[in-house]
């Protein structure tokens, strides 16, 4: 739990100046910030107004997936639209039925916008503003009419469903976590569809857009102080193999230690690192991304093994080696390392996946461990191909 909280803290602290939290807290709007680069796409910041509106304390929502605010009468169509906006990394504004902590539903104007890195065009965060609305009655699919501001019985507790997945989950029981963003895919016809939404006025739509612009301005200002500038519009095209939000979320569900490296960029840097890798090595995510995997080597690392790795990469072949690596604190560990090229749908090498597995001794390698590594490689390959990542041309 402490490690997860540290990752959540890093999401804001690593990119913005330390004053950004205070500046965001002074904004009187209801909004959250989520990080698609962290496993489960969790909330990393929530405003005080959002806490008041939802009935949850800020501590109760930080680190949670935004599905916690949805319920049985939330429109599937709206959720699918949000899902698609996240996949395409674009802004969306629509009316949405959400649920407070006490189980009471309410209509809101939902405005989602991506936050881009100026340096490489990647999506760093998503900002979601929620503006409460509702003044007219609606027809519900079960034949009853209810007021938009009081749809359900007082005090009822409603089951949670997912809020916005990007694509089909890439899932293997022994490798991945329980899917966090796909509740609607498994609901069948159990949910009650709202036939008519509670529409926001033009003034409310304008207010939500202004709120987003205000929040993005604050993030841009405090990112300039760290040199890791962000903006509300994609200023640069993503690098050839920059990971989209949908692929990042899919990879985040794999619980084993691995990294992805990009052979299209100089020195083949790490472009994705799993939470388990960070835990194994002791490094923070921002200390790892952009580095060559050789930073794990140390004084007693076997040069012949390093040479073997380089040769296999040059010939685009998979390999499994035993190598002595080093953590951030200087301690060493035996790493059973499997490296495999990951090809896209066109058959071109898009990434290399490096799966690490620590063993207690040099001869501790077993068939079960090897099969686990093969499983991780397989899931990563399926994720990359299904998301259409990587270069499509020779």
pLDDT tens for 287-318 read 888 889 999 999 999 999 999 999 999 999 99
pLDDT for residue 372: 82
The pLDDT confidence band at residue 332, using thresholds 50, 70 and 90, is very high
Angle 365-368-374 from CA coordinates, rounded to 5°: 95
Please give the residue that has the higher pLDDT: either 121 or 282: 282
pLDDT for residue 366: 62
pLDDT for residue 373: 83
Q: What six digits make up the tokens of 331?
A: 């301690």
For a pLDDT cut of 90, what percent of the chain falls above it?
47
Judge whether residue 150 has pLDDT over 60.
no
Report in angstroms the alpha-carbon separations of 6 from 3, 239, 284, 377: 5, 28, 9, 27
Please give the residue that has the higher pLDDT: either 195 or 64: 64
Provide the 10 A C-beta neighbour count for residue 12.
19
Judge whether residue 25 has pLDDT over 70.
yes
64-122 pLDDT tens trace: 989 899 999 999 899 999 988 988 889 999 999 999 999 999 999 999 999 998 887 88
Which residues have a Cβ under 8 Å from the Cβ of 308 and sit 6 or more positions away?
A: 319, 321
pLDDT for residue 176: 38
CA gap 258, 375 in Å, rounded: 12
Please give the residue that has the higher pLDDT: either 247 or 162: 247
Mean pLDDT of 265-294: 89
pLDDT for residue 69: 93
165-174 pLDDT tens trace: 333 333 333 3
Mean pLDDT of 199-210: 91
pLDDT for residue 284: 86
Cβ 251 vs Cβ 371: under 8 Å: no
Mean pLDDT of 111-139: 82
pLDDT for residue 93: 95
Domains of the chain: 2-231 (3.30.450.20), 254-386 (3.30.450.20)
Q: Residue 11 carries which DSSP code?
A: H
What's the pTM? 0.61
CA gap 89, 105 in Å, rounded: 28
Judge whether residue 215 has pLDDT over 50.
yes
Please give the residue that has the higher pLDDT: either 365 or 349: 349
């Amino acid at each position: 739990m402490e490690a997860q909280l540290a990752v959540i803290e890093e999401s804001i602290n690593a990119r913005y100046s330390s004053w950004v939290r205070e500046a965001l807290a002074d904004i009187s709007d209801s909004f959250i910030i989520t990080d698609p680069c962290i496993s489960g796409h969790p909330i990393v910041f929530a405003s005080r107004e959002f806490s008041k509106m939802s009935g949850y304390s800020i501590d109760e929502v930080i680190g949670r997936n935004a599905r916690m605010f949805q319920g049985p009468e939330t429109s599937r169509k709206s959720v699918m639209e949000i899902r698609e906006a996240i996949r395409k990394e674009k802004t969306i504004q629509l009316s949405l039925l959400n649920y407070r902590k006490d189980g009471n539903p309410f209509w809101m104007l939902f405005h989602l916008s991506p936050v881009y890195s100026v340096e490489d065009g990647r999506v760093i965060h998503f900002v979601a503003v929620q503006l409460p609305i509702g003044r007219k009655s609606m027809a519900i699919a079960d034949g009853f009419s209810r007021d938009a501001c009081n749809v359900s019985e007082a005090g009822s507790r409603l089951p949670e469903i997912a809020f916005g997945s990007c694509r089909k989950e890439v899932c293997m029981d022994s490798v991945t976590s329980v899917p966090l963003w796909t509740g609607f895919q498994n609901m069948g016809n159990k949910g009650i569809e709202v036939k008519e939404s509670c529409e926001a006025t033009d003034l409310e739509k304008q207010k939500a857009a202004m709120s987003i612009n205000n929040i993005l301005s604050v993030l841009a200002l405090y990112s300039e102080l760290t040199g890791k500038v962000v903006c509300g519009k994609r200023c640069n095209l993503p690098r050839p193999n920059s990971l989209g939000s949908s692929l990042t979320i899919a990879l985040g569900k794999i619980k084993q230690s691995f990294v992805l490296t990009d052979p299209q960029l100089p020195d083949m840097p790490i472009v994705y690192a799993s939470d388990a890798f960070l835990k194994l090595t002791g490094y923070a995510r921002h200390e790892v991304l952009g580095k060559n995997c050789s930073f794990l080597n140390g004084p007693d690392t076997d040069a012949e093994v390093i040479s073997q790795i380089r040769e296999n990469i040059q010939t685009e072949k998979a390999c499994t080696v035993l190598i002595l690596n080093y953590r951030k604190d200087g301690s060493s560990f035996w790493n059973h390392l499997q490296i495999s090229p990951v090809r896209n749908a066109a058959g071109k090498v898009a990434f290399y996946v490096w799966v690490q597995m620590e063993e207690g001794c040099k001869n501790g390698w077993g068939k079960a461990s090897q099969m686990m590594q093969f499983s991780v490689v397989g899931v990563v390959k399926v994720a990359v191909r299904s998301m259409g990542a990587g270069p499509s041309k020779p």
